[in-house]
Structure 1
Amino acid sequence: MEVAVIKYNAGNVKSVLYAMERLGVNATLTDDWETIKKADKVIFPGQGEASTAMKYLKERKIDKLIKELKQPFFGICLGLQLLCDYSEEYDTQCLGIFPIKVKKFPPLNKVPHIGWNNLENLKTPLLEGLDESAYVYYVHSYYAELNPKYTIATTHYINDFSAMLHKDNYYAMQGHPEKSSVVGEKILNNFLKL
């Protein structure tokens, strides 16, 4: 199985590559169009800042490529936020796969949201074999609003937000499966089986 991990100068990419290695998958970190197009699965992870990330994607026209992909695609953390329509972080137009706004958590003294929270309202094959006692690890100051059509799991921190999203071949998760122990491993394994 060919797994492409999209390179766009975001942090936390190495831990995703190590997680794939632990699952017996040799993933390729790349921003090469052909490698991404040929891959069986594509992972779009990252921590960082939305406007800088979008600038990198646009310069290499990876923003256009992402919208054309047909294979299972998994956005993680910043990857989820960039798949949305718009982020309040530096007033950034994002990829628009999900018609959802990304907003900053309100009280400034309570961000970033760091730590373990459980997933609720599960509606996705990515969470097969898990229930609402499943905890995942988060590090973020911005969140995707809830959407009845595309939200497939929620988490509560200050307010409810989209913990996971799904539309067509695009899946996304705000938390970090690669840092979420056995629960995260299960989610990544489920993605690889899609």
Structure 2
Amino acid sequence: MTVTVIDYGGGNIGSVVNMLKRVGSDVAVVREPAEIASSERILLPGVGAFDRGVSLLKETGFFEPIRAFAVSGRPVLGICLGMQLLADSSEEGELRGLGLIPGAARRFAAKPGLRIPHMGWNAVVPRDHEPLLDGIAEENRFYFVHSYHVEPADESHVAATTGYGSSFVSMIRRDNVVGAQFHPEKSHDFGKTLLKNFAAA
């Protein structure tokens, strides 16, 4: 039940680590790529711009080891920017992402009364059965802060959606690789349940 959190310089990981510990998970924070090879599951956090996130993963040497870890079939969870990095690309930048779930991150279309970035509490609605949402009520609320959202190339990779102006994809899944656009570590009991489910995956 150990979750390995990747510290590649792409954001403050303290709140993620603290929430994982609250749900009873053992946590390993790694700063060396070789350390993830023996991990049970990895969590890729992230805030900020897409190209900077990709550049940091490459500069720290994590880019290819993360791809290799995903191919091994062990659980991978990317949150916020970490979810977008799982995709092929982003309208925000020019670099290629990890390519673990085909698709691209798109900026919210400007609409009257729609604030960008999307910031606040919204419900996450599973498309089918999403194991990380087990035990979470339909009337849930997760915390979002983002201007871009992933559009998977394959509809079967849509794990959950959220309404903001229109429906957008808030969770993606391809086999053992999952992305969550919201911040579970800031989403109180709903986020705790999701992270507990991931720790037990």
Structures share a fold, TM > 0.5? yes
Structure 2 contact 8–60 (Cα < 8 Å) conserved: no
Counterpart of 2:140, as a letter, is A
Greater relative contact order (Cα 8 A, min sep 6): structure 1 or 2?
Answer: 2
CA contact (8 A) 1:177 1:188 kept: yes
Calculate the aligned-residue CA RMSD, in Å: 1.6
Q: Deviations over 1:52-100 (max 9, x none)?
A: 1111111233111111113211100000000011111123321111111
* Percent identical: 36
Unaligned 5+ segments in structure 2 are none
**Which one-letter code corresponds to 1:78 in the other structure?**
L
Shift of the 101–46 alpha-carbon distance from structure 1 to 2, 3 Å rule, reads same
Normalization by structure 1: what TM-score?
0.93
TM-score by length of 2: 0.90
Equivalent residue number for residue 115 of structure 2:
110
2:140 is equivalent to residue 137 of structure 1? no
Is residue 122–residue 132 contact of structure 1 (8 Å, CA) maintained in 2? Answer: no
Where does residue 27 of structure 2 map in the other structure? 27
Give yes or no for contact 1:122–1:131 (8 Å, CA) kept in 2.
no
Runs (4+) off by over 6 Å: none
Give the CA deviation at 1:31: 2.7
Q: Which residue of 1 aligns with 2:174?
A: 167
How many residues align structurally? 194
Deviates more, 1:105-114 or 1:77-86: 105-114
Superposed, 1:53-64 pairs within 5 Å as 53-64=53-64
Q: CA deviation at 1:132?
A: 2.6
5+ unaligned residues in a row in structure 1: which ranges? none
Partners of 2:168 and 2:96 in 1: how far apart? 20
Cα distance change on mapping 1:189 and 1:183 into 2, 3 Å: same
Q: Give runs of aligned pairs for residues 151-166 of structure 1, distance below 5 A.
A: 151-166=158-173
Does 37-46 or 103-112 show the bigger shift? 103-112
